Amino acid sequence: MSEKIREFNDCIRETIKIIISIRGYAEVRIFDIFDIKYMSKKDIFTKKNITSEGKNAIFYGDISRKYDCFAQEIINRIDNESYEKATKVEKEQILVNLEDFGYEDIGRCILYQNDVPAAINGNVLLLTLKDSFKDIIDLRYIAFLINYKDTIRNYIYQKSAGEKVKRLKKIDFENILIIIPALEVQNKTVNNFIELKRQFEDDVAEIERKIKLIDGYSKGYVERILNFKNKELSSE
């Protein structure tokens, strides 16, 4: 990075900090704070390349279906040859899906948190936070915002096009307006989200446990009724 670009980014950072100190938040575009790399390589690897002994890989369709905001434990692995050919997502980068079948899946993202890079495919963006903003941005907050903020989801819905397959243009995504509060507010927002998500998952697990328990009691009760009826019939 040239010195002039670094100075320009530092100037933006200081401006953001001043605005936050005055009104509690600042508004920026995605491209203001991220270096953005676009790729569209769907044939580098496919489901046929999946192997239990391979290396980390993320299929573009899995971004919204198998992960939420964060990707720490990687679900799929592919053979070494395909892995070496593919573009990689690295720790602390955000991976964005620009193509999918439904509006609810388009424009979803994950913050990659695994120490080992993962091969990626599909119509995706790689976001790398610019160095100047690392002390004022919580990347977890950005991933949460993109996936759950109503205004952002509505914007993505309006900008997506296509009949069977929905697509979002790179220029439309990088122009998304995001609200940046103080770092401690970002941290608190994300931690509250993680806690609520954990509580929700615990509640769902408890409901499923009770359903299985009730099913077990119901089956046992039905079996006892049938056995009783059979005994009555055999004694007549």
How many whole angstroms separate alpha carbon 23 and alpha carbon 13?
Answer: 16
42-46, 99-103, 106-110, 152-156: which has the minimum mean pLDDT? Answer: 42-46
Instruction: Read off the pLDDT of each residue in 48-61 and give the average, rounded to a whole number.
Output: 91
Angle at 72 between CA 71 and CA 76, to 5 degrees: 75
Count other C-beta atoms under 10 Å from residue 31's C-beta. 16
The residue with greater pLDDT, 96 or 163, is 96
Instruction: Read off the pLDDT of each residue in 137-150 and give the average, rounded to a whole number.
Output: 94
Q: What percent of the chain has pLDDT over 90?
A: 64
**Confidence band for 219, pLDDT divided at 50, 70 and 90:** low
Whole-model pTM: value is 0.83
Q: Which residues, at least 6 apart from 146, have a Cβ–Cβ distance to it below 8 Å? A: 94, 96, 107, 108, 109, 152, 176, 178
**Confidence band for 198, pLDDT divided at 50, 70 and 90:** confident
Residue 125 has what pLDDT? 95
Q: Which residues pair with 26 in a beta bridge?
A: 180
Please spell the DSSP secondary structure of the chain, one letter per residue: --HHHHHHHHHHHHHHHHHHHHHSEEEEEHHHHEEEEEEEESSS--GGGEEEEEEEEE-TTHHHHT-SSEE-S--EEE-HHHHHHSEEE-TT-EEEE-EESSTTTTT-EEEE--SS-EEE-EEEEEEEE-GGGTTT--HHHHHHHHHH-HHHHHHHHHH-B-SSSEE--HHHHHT-EEEEE-HHHHHHHHHHHHHHHHHHHHHHHHHHHHHHHHHHHHHHHHHHHHHHHHHHHHH-
How many whole angstroms separate alpha carbon 44 and alpha carbon 85?
Answer: 7
For all residues of the chain together, what is the average pLDDT? 87
How many whole angstroms separate alpha carbon 172 and alpha carbon 231?
Answer: 73
pLDDT at 103 exceeding the cut of 80: yes
